[in-house]
Amino acid sequence: MHPATEEFLRQIGLAAQKGGYLCYVVGGFVRDDLLGIESLDLDLAVNYLADSEQTQFAGLEFAEYLYNFGEEIFKLKFITPKKLAKFKKYRTAKIFFKNSKNLEHSEEIQTHSEDLADFTLDFVTCRQEVYLASGAAPQISSGTLRDDLLRRDFSVNALALNLMPQNFGEVLDYCEGIKDLEQRELNILHAQSFKDDPVRLLRGLRYLQRLSKFGFHFGAKTQALFEQAVREELILNVPPTRLKEEYLKVKKESCAAEILSQMQSIGLLQSCLLNLKIA
């Protein structure tokens, strides 16, 4: 981890403690850090230090707290928060340190300055999800950090880095993500994962290509379930608008040609285009 990034995260942890929150970096940043990759893909999972009746808004409230008191909290001028976007429907928020155009879907935007730096912070309240149908949006309820990690797509993305001062740097792993990193395996967390959220098929291929230089591959059970989900064309269960977002992410990858070629060879590309009706 770059020293400036570590100092930045330490300041977030101190702010969380002062404001009465628990805060962890989750997902891709932790995975990349353990692989020795420098990253600013910062997703924060937040809960309250004490019990609260409004736990579903911890992430939103901490984002506001950092935004409003950022100039006091952060000591380095280049990481002063510039923009805040809140997505109350999803109980998430973003602080922008970068001139971003991805603001059109936010319900509320506040701005300090148009002179923005070069990354964002994403905030989510720790939550649990239940899928009632394949491809449908999940039902969301408040949860613990463990619940939040168990809802993730792959074990290597279900790792958390503790930012609280007393345990800063501790990696929390409830899904054998570290073991899978060591074995260079990409594994889903349960047998219904691809059925619950079929866009994980596309994400899996994206991650495999991104991590190809490390020799990552699907674990045996995940590979079998992946092939079954492709054969059953579960991707057709995904609403076209959501699938389009994931499909565009594939096309923006530096290795997009390789991913699309692989998708075509297994029939997944054809199913996606059928869903999107652009075949």
| pLDDT of 113 strictly over 50 | no
CATH code for the domain defined by 184-276: 1.10.110.30
Instruction: Using DSSP, state whether 154 is helix, strand or coil.
Output: strand
The number of beta carbons lying within 10 Å of the beta carbon of residue 190 is 11
Q: Cα(first)–Cα(last) distance of the chain, in Å?
A: 43
Are the C-beta atoms of 29 and 61 separated by less than 8 Å? Answer: no
Which helix (H) or strand (E) is 130 found in, with range? strand 127-130
Angstrom distance (rounded) from CA 136 to CA 210: 27
Which helix (H) or strand (E) is 90 found in, with range? none
According to CATH, the topology of domain 3-177 is Beta Polymerase; domain 2 (3.30.460)
| pLDDT of 35 strictly over 70 | yes
pTM of the predicted model as reported, rounded to 2 decimal places: 0.87
What percent of the chain lies above the pLDDT cut of 70?
86
238-266 per-position pLDDT tens digit: 999 999 999 999 999 999 999 999 999 99
Within 8 A by CB and 6+ apart from 20, the residues are: 48, 49, 50
Q: How many helices (H) and strands (E) does the chain have?
A: 12, 12
Alpha helices in the chain (DSSP H): 3-19, 28-34, 58-68, 70-73, 145-150, 177-183, 193-196, 200-210, 220-231, 240-252, 256-266, 268-276
Instruction: Report which of 229, 100, 207, 102 is spatially closest to residue 152, judged by C-alpha positions.
Output: 207
Q: How many residues does the chain have?
A: 279
18-33 per-position pLDDT tens digit: 999 999 999 999 999 9
Q: What tokens were used for 116? A: 């923005």
| pLDDT of 198 strictly over 90 | yes
Lowest model confidence (mean pLDDT) among 16-20, 55-59, 106-110: 106-110
Are the C-beta atoms of 275 and 235 separated by less than 8 Å? Answer: yes
140-151 per-position pLDDT tens digit: 888 999 999 999
Within 8 A by CB and 6+ apart from 49, the residues are: 17, 20, 21, 22
The residue extents of the domains of the chain are 3-177, 184-276
Residue 39: per-residue pLDDT: 85
Angstrom distance (rounded) from CA 142 to CA 55: 6
